[in-house]
Structure 1
C-alpha cells in the first residue's frame, strides 16, 4: 500500500484537528497572568521565609560557635537558588504572556464551517449494495432530481475555513478556502476514488475606507478568486440547486443603488475541456452576471451572458471524431456546440410561509444556447445554438401543528433542441417531506416523491425515447440533537425506501441504473442508515 496516496486526507485531518484545538475554549490572557503572578508571589514568600530562617540561624551561630560553617553555607545557597527560580519565573511569565497574545492574534477572526453526509443501503432485489442518487431517473440526465431521503449512497464532506482581519483605516478583509471530497466506496481507505479538491479560494474587502463617503458603495464588498456565488440557493430535500453560479473571477456585491434596489455584479470563467489537442489548452467560457434585488430582497432578477469563442472554433489538430469537414469542433452528437448564450432568473423569496411559520421561494428560469443549462450557469459546453429551456421551481416549509412539520416542493422543466435539433425533454417532480416530532431527540420523517417525464433525446449518448413515471416513499426514524426544525443537524437516520417506475424507463440508457440486473421496474425495497451534519 502506498501511504503517500493518503497524504491529502492526512493533511486535511491535521488541519481540522489543529483547528479544533485552537477553537477549544481556553483561559484568557488575564487569567493566565493572574495564575503566574500568584505563583511568583508564592515563590517570593518562600524566599522571605528562608531569609528569616537564615537570619535566625546566624544569630544562633553567633551564640553557639559550634554550629558548622558548612551548614551556614548550605542554607545561603538554598536562598540563592530560590531567588534565581523567582527571577526565572518572572521571565517565563513575560514570555508566556507574549506567546498567548500571539496565539490570540492568530485565531482572532478565524472561523470554519462544514457539511458532511455518509450512508449505506442494501437492495432487496440483489441482496447486496443498493443503488441510487437524487438524479437516478432518466430525467436526471437533464437536471430532474427526485427526493434525496433514503436515496444517497455516497460519502461527501466539505470544510470551509475563514479568516477575517481589519486594517488600521477600518477596512475589513476576509479570506475563504473550501476543501471538499466525495466518493461512493464504503471503505475507510479510498485514495483511488478520492476526489479531494479546493472548491473555493477567494478574498473579500468590505467596509472600505475609500467608500465611506459614497452612499451606494458604503456597504459594498469586493472579491476575487475561485468561488460559488454568495446568493446561490437550493431545494435541500431534492439536493438540487435552483440556481448555481460558480467559477473563477471577480465581482462586487451589495451596491445599494436606492433604498429598495441592490445590485451584485460578477465576471467568471469556466472550462469546457481540451481545445488544442497538442497543447491541451482549455476551452474557456466567460460568464458576466448582474444580480438585482428589490423590496428588501423579496424579489430577485438575475441575468447572465455566457460567451465561449473557442467552443465552436477550429482545432489545431484535426481528428474525425472531434471536428466536421470545415474543422469545427463537434459535440458528442456530431454537431457544432454553441459559442454563446443567455440565462435569466426571476425569483420571489418569502421569510414566512404565507403568513405562517417557515419560508417559501419560487423561481422562473429561462435559457438560450449555452444558457439552456438552467441549474449550473454556463457549465454545459455541449449545448447547441438553438437550445432553449424553461423551468419553474417552488418550495418551502411550515408547521402543521405542534408536533408536525411539512415541506413541499415542485419543479418542472421543458427544453428543446438541447444537443440535437428536434430533441425534446419534459419532466416534472413533486416532493413532500413530513416530520413528526415524538421527543426532544427523536422524530419520524416521511418523504414521498413522484416524477413524470417524456424524453426524446434522438439517440444523443445512445439514449432512447422514454415516457413514464417514477415514485418513491421513504420512512426514516431519525435521531438529532434537538427536534423541531427541518434544518437542525446533525441527524442520524435509519430508513426503508420503496420505489417503482414505468417499464418503459428501463430502456432509456445502458449506462444508468434503470434496467440493470437486480434493478428493474416492478418495485424495489432499499434499507440503510445515514448521517448528515453541518455547522
Structure 2
C-alpha cells in the first residue's frame, strides 16, 4: 500500500504520460518425505557454501516484483521505482512473520534513473536492490553478489568499457552488522571472439567498534558466449580480512592475516533443442592463522533430455568435500526427476513440474561436523536419518519464473 501511494503521489506531481507496470517473479513449491516417513530433510555439507538443489530443497519460496516506469524524458532517460516481496517457508512448518519457520521480507525497494545521456547510457540508483548477482543455478550459489542497501552509478560507458560504483552499508536483509562497503567494477574487455572479461574490487571500511578490521576482495570473471550452445563462466576471487566473504561482507573480526581464494568454473549447454544442462566445479581455500584452515571442493552436473516437447528426464549428480580440522567431510548426492514442462524442451524453460527421488551418502567426519554445527540436520545423528550415513527423499516440486 505504501509503495503504491508513493507512486501515485509522483504521478500527480510530474508531467509525464502513464507508463506500463512490469510484473516479474519466481516460485518454487512442493512437498516431500524421507524414505523413513519423516518430512523431507535436505542434504548440505557443513563448511560447504551451497548444496545441489534438484530434489534437495526443503522450503516454499516466492518472489513477487513490481517495476513502475514513472517518467520517460525527452533525452530518452527513464525514472522508475522497483519493489519486491519475498516469502520463505520451511516444509512442515506454519508460516510466521519471525523466527526460523517462515519469513516475509522486502528484499528490493529502490529508485533508478536509467539510460542517462550524461552517463553515456549509464544509470544512478538508490535503495535496497539485487545488484550484479552472479550465481550457479544448479547449486543456487551466488559466488559474486554485490546486492546492497545503498546507492550507486551503474554501467557508465567510457572507451568501450562499462564502469560501475556502489556505496552500501548492508549486503542483505540478514546481515547483523552495518559495514561501509565500496564496490568498483569495470566490464566490457573483449578478450577473444565471444569472450568478455570483467574486473571487480570490494573495499570494506574498518567499523568503529573494538577488534574490528578493514578488508578487501578482488574478482576477475571471463564469460564465453556460444559455448556448446550455451555459455561458460570462469571466475577467480581473492580476499583478506572481512573481504574473505568473497562477494559478501565477511567477519569483521578477521585481520589481513586471514585470506581466502576461490576458483569457479561452470557452463551451460544446449547442444540440441532437446539436450541441455549445466556443469560446475568450485575450489576454495580459507587460510586462518588460528589453524582452522579449510578447503572446499564441489563438482556437480545436471543434464536434461526431453523425450517429447513437454516431457523431460532430468538428473543431477553432486559431490562436496571439505578438508577441515577434525577430518575430511564428504557428501555425495544423486537425483532423478521425470519432469513436465508445458512451454517446451529447453533446459531453461519454465514452468517445470517434477517428480523426484534423491539419494545421498556421507562419511563419519561429515556427521561429526553436523552434530557440532547443524544439530538436527539431515547429516547429524539427531536428524531424520539418525546414525545412518545415507538417506533418501522423494517428492514433487514446481518451479516457475517470469518477467
**When the two structures are superposed, what TM-score results if normalisation uses the length of structure 2?**
0.86
In structure 2, which of residues 339, 353, 358 is the aligned counterpart of residue 478 of structure 1?
339
Partner of 1:207: 115
Give the match's secondary structure for 1:351. strand
Structure 1 or 2: more strand by fraction:
2
Cα shift at 1:222: 0.8
1:344 and 2:218 matched = yes
Q: Do the aligned residues in 2 keep the contact of 1:303 with 1:345 (CA within 8 Å)?
A: yes
| Aligned positions, number | 375
Q: Do the aligned residues in 2 keep the contact of 1:441 with 1:483 (CA within 8 Å)?
A: yes
1:249 and 2:150 matched = yes
Distance 2:232 2:330 in 1: 27
Distance 2:307 2:333 in 1: 24
Distance 2:116 2:338 in 1: 50
Structure 2 gaps, min length 5: 5-15
Cα shift at 1:177: 0.9
In structure 1, which of residues 290, 310, 335 is the aligned counterpart of residue 184 of structure 2?
290
Distance 1:206 1:400 in 2: 36
Q: Do the aligned residues in 2 keep the contact of 1:400 with 1:406 (CA within 8 Å)?
A: no
Q: Deviations over 1:84-109 (max 9, x none)?
A: xxxxxxxxxxxxxxxxxxxx965x23
Cα shift at 1:167: 4.8
Partner of 1:218: 120
Partner of 2:39: 129
Q: Do the aligned residues in 1 keep the contact of 2:30 with 2:395 (CA within 8 Å)?
A: yes
Structure 1 or 2: more helix by fraction:
1
Cα shift at 1:244: 0.8
Distance 1:495 1:268 in 2: 41
Cα shift at 1:382: 4.8
| Distance change >3 Å, CA 383–CA 159, structure 1 → 2 | farther
In structure 2, which of residues 128, 140, 143 is the aligned counterpart of residue 239 of structure 1?
140
In structure 1, which of residues 407, 430, 446 is the aligned counterpart of residue 299 of structure 2?
430
1:364 and 2:236 matched = yes
| Distance change >3 Å, CA 130–CA 137, structure 1 → 2 | same
**When the two structures are superposed, what TM-score results if normalisation uses the length of structure 1?**
0.66
Distance 1:293 1:532 in 2: 32
Q: Do the aligned residues in 1 keep the contact of 2:275 with 2:346 (CA within 8 Å)?
A: no
1:531 and 2:398 matched = yes
Partner of 2:287: 416
1:405 and 2:276 matched = yes
Q: How does 1:89-104 map to 2 (within 5 A)?
A: none
Distance 1:493 1:271 in 2: 33
Cα shift at 1:228: 1.9
Distance 1:379 1:198 in 2: 23
Distance 1:410 1:435 in 2: 18
In structure 2, which of residues 153, 163, 167 is the aligned counterpart of residue 267 of structure 1?
167
Partner of 2:203: 305
| Distance change >3 Å, CA 118–CA 308, structure 1 → 2 | farther
Q: Do the aligned residues in 2 keep the contact of 1:272 with 1:379 (CA within 8 Å)?
A: no
Q: How does 1:123-162 map to 2 (within 5 A)?
A: 123-124=34-35, 126-132=36-42, 136-140=44-48, 143=49, 145-162=50-67
Distance 2:53 2:113 in 1: 37
| Distance change >3 Å, CA 307–CA 300, structure 1 → 2 | same
1:198 and 2:100 matched = no
Distance 2:116 2:222 in 1: 31
More relative contact order in 1 or in 2 (CA 8 Å, sep 6+)? 2
Q: Do the aligned residues in 2 keep the contact of 1:183 with 1:194 (CA within 8 Å)?
A: yes
Structure 1 gaps, min length 5: 1-10, 16-103, 212-216, 274-281, 314-335, 457-464
Give the match's secondary structure for 1:298. strand
Distance 2:310 2:251 in 1: 43
Structure number with bigger Rg: 1
| Distance change >3 Å, CA 120–CA 201, structure 1 → 2 | same
Give the match's secondary structure for 1:504. helix
Q: Do the aligned residues in 2 keep the contact of 1:146 with 1:431 (CA within 8 Å)?
A: no
Partner of 1:27: none
Give the match's secondary structure for 1:201. strand
In structure 2, which of residues 358, 381, 395 is the aligned counterpart of residue 516 of structure 1?
381
1:179 and 2:80 matched = no
Cα shift at 1:455: 1.2
| Distance change >3 Å, CA 191–CA 232, structure 1 → 2 | closer
Q: Do the aligned residues in 2 keep the contact of 1:388 with 1:416 (CA within 8 Å)?
A: yes
